[in-house]
Chain A
Amino acid sequence: MKIAGPQRAVFSLVITILTVLVLIAVVFPVFWIITTAIRPFPTISVPKFELIPKNATLEGFRWVLFESSFFLWLKNSLIVSAITVTLTLFLTILGAYSFSRFRFWGKESFLYGYFIASQFVGAFGITALIALYAFLARLGVINSLIILALIYTSGGIPFNTWLLKTYFDTLPKDFDEAALMDGASFLKVIYYVFLPIARPALAVVALFSFMGSWSEFILAQTLLGPENYTLPVGLWGLVGRWETPWNHFAAMAILFALPIVVFFIIAQRYLVAGLAQGGIKG
């Protein structure tokens, strides 16, 4: 009972329209951010609903691009995120492979430990922050983008390893066993067999570690000096004690979010590719 022909086209239209409607609702707050960004005065709520405000202006964007330190922050953010993503992928692939394919003594407790660790790291707030600060100050590595990236990587390792392991688990064991039987080494198997098959999962891990490092600001603002501020720190700095320039803030937030959307659309291709075109059916 495969749907075909004109019937299929109708279904397809219905589904597409449904998707578009749902997405309009979902993306609405983002439209609203744009509305806020082009409003000529810095207010977060207005009495009349206007998708395009009266006297709309790009002043907010002009301010972000030409008067704020946006590009410096962007550069810093890109450095941190690039290091974080690369390192995370490298370290988690090895870890996830062991968890998924090896049986070894203490594996269960390891897994538990990893999982638990991955979840309460964030719960320690300022106390851990003061400890970390003192610790890094002693090593003399405060205010370093590389160190920040290492901290992000390390914080995400348990989670990302876990994530990748759950995907590796779903891959049929025959693939790599066959390769190993043929005498390939583990590293070769990971490189030639796992990486191509697991591309969707790797894209997810890359996405997660990118998102994490791209939007974290509590650690960043504690450890970094102004010349090393990342975007979220700069953005958060616009929030005043009593007053916030909402239009500038919104404009910067939009420019901030753009790379993530672009990154996702790129990662997306791999997500879609997946098994179907991976060419490992045989």
Chain B
Amino acid sequence: MKRALLIFLVVVLLSGTLFVFGCKPKKAEAPDVVVWHSLTPAVEELSKAHIEKTFKKLYPDITVKMEHISDLRTRLLAAIPAKMGPDIFIWAHDWTGEFSKAGYILPIDEFMTPELKAKYVDFAYEACAYNGKTWALPFAGETVALFYNKTLVKEAPKTVPELVTYMKANHKPGEGKYGIAYPIDPYFVSAWVHGFGGWYFRDSDKTAGVNTEGAIKGLKYLSDNFKPYMGPDPAGDIQRGVFHAGMAPFLIDGPWGIPAVEKAGINYGVAILPKIPEIDAYPKPFTGIQVMWITNNVKNKEKAFKFMEWFTTDLPHITERATKFRYIPVLKESLEAEGVKDNPIIMTFAQQMRDYGVLMPRGPEMMLTWGPFGDALLSFWLEPAKLEALFDAAQKDIEERIKKAP
């Protein structure tokens, strides 16, 4: 009896172990270039179709696989050190500092030519540079602008006081009408901080400036002019819902918000953020550039670069992504293309970025800035009187974090 049991259990254990080690997934022919991204399924499909149509003909010897990864950051942080990462990944450009410092991405200067460089709009290319090296290639830009509901307002206001007049006229909270829908978040409010000359973190002199005079003035201006005309909960989804329901004539949002606005059946237009006449300046929102990096797990850097170059410069591909999904092109040629240059929505976002955009910093320090800034921002929204104290504390907190960072 005892022996039978023993044998039985040994068999179980052995087969379990065999199971574990015997079942290594079959290694299919690994593609030359594996790309990890978080694009939506429809956008991924579009890219895949263009890869089939164009890229395969141009480079029949390079095989490519696009993989949607749902929590890209965690996955990359685990996979790259374990040598299981992709060849290329796609995200907004502000990860450059962190990932280059960790050695997870490789510079691509050896492939760069002046002709290629000249194809991208200047600020998009600038977003790919850090510490004197080029790390990425850009394919789309994002920023926030002013959406307006054409059935509620005829045309977009040009200045903030004009905007305030419209908001005041429409703001009747008791009847479910608000002046504006505005997600209160560090990215979305950056326009006012920058407009008044403040900043979050600067790569140029590596300093944080969340309690500088400009930042404080900008935040005060934001709160004085917008808060009275907003719904009580400043969370993004809720604010957007107000605009989608036609309860507010304005919304501050980026191009990613367009599909939802269209599906909600709102007759909308987009304008650049209105001027601040008090200081004769425009608000300057953060600009994020969607870029592609090559990781240090890359199998064949040249092939990876070829794909990246094609992905960011193939005109029909970029243009279709712009016209169908409102990805704002940063390829000069595409901005001149039919369907793009005559599309007021795309061109407004392009103008907002070009004329009044501030590139998100690339330094890893920026990652330490978002959190304290966001906390101070919401605390300020709760207790407006504490503005200076809150941002002084945030500035200290950020400096402390930067000092302690490895």
Contacts and interface: CB of A to CB of B under 8 A. Distances in A.
Interface of A: 40-48, 67-69, 126, 129-130, 133-134, 137-144, 146-147, 150, 185-187, 218, 221-222, 225-226, 229, 233-234, 236-237, 240-245
Given A41-B244, A146-B19, A237-B68, A222 B24 contact: no
A222 B241 contact: no
Contacts of A222: 71, 74-75, 78
A160 B33 CA distance: 43
Given A47-B241, A126-B78, 8 more contacts: A41-B264, A47-B247, A67-B41, A138-B82, A141-B24, A226-B68, A237-B70, A244-B237
B70 A221 contact: yes
B84 A243 contact: no
B405 interface: no
A45 B241 contact: yes
A225 B78 CA distance: 13
Interface stretch (B97-105, B208-216, B254-262, B306-314): B254-262
Nearest to B253: A242
B49 interface: no
Contact of B82 (A44, A137, A240): A137
Interface string B138-174: 0000000000000000000000000000000000000
Pairs of residues from A and B, 3 with the lowest C-beta to C-beta distance, nearest first: A237-B70, A137-B82, A41-B264
A43 B5 CA distance: 59
Contacts of B263: 40-42
B187 to A, nearest CB: 8
B245 interface: yes
17 contacts: A40-B263, A43-B237, A43-B244, A43-B264, A44-B238, A45-B241, A47-B241, A69-B41, A133-B84, A137-B79, A143-B25, A144-B23, A144-B24, A146-B20, A186-B5, A221-B75, A242-B256
Contacts of A45: 237-238, 241
B1 interface: yes
B79 A185 contact: no
B344 interface: no
A126 B84 contact: no
A145 to B, nearest CB: 9
A41 B79 CA distance: 36
Nearest to A232: B70
A281 to B, nearest CB: 29
A226 B78 contact: no
A59 B75 CA distance: 32
A30 to B, nearest CB: 19
Contact of A242 (B1, B82, B241, B257): B257
Interface residues of B, number: 45
B241 to A, nearest CB: 4
B75 A42 contact: no
B203 to A, nearest CB: 22
B77 interface: yes
B176 interface: yes
Contacts, number: 121
Given A68-B41, A137-B83, A237-B68, A129 B74 contact: yes
A40 B266 CA distance: 13
A47 B259 CA distance: 20
B20 A44 contact: no
Contacts of A233: 70
B313 to A, nearest CB: 25
B240 interface: yes
Contacts of B8: 187
A130 B68 contact: no
A190 to B, nearest CB: 11
Contacts of A150: 19-20
B273 to A, nearest CB: 17
Contact of B241 (A40, A43, A226): A43
Contact of A146 (B23, B75, B245, B254): B23
B82 A134 contact: yes
Contacts of A245: 40, 260
Nearest to A130: B78
B260 A225 contact: no
B270 to A, nearest CB: 15
B254 A141 contact: no
A144 B25 contact: yes
B371 interface: no
Given A43-B240, A187-B5, A243-B256, A236 B74 contact: no
B67 interface: yes
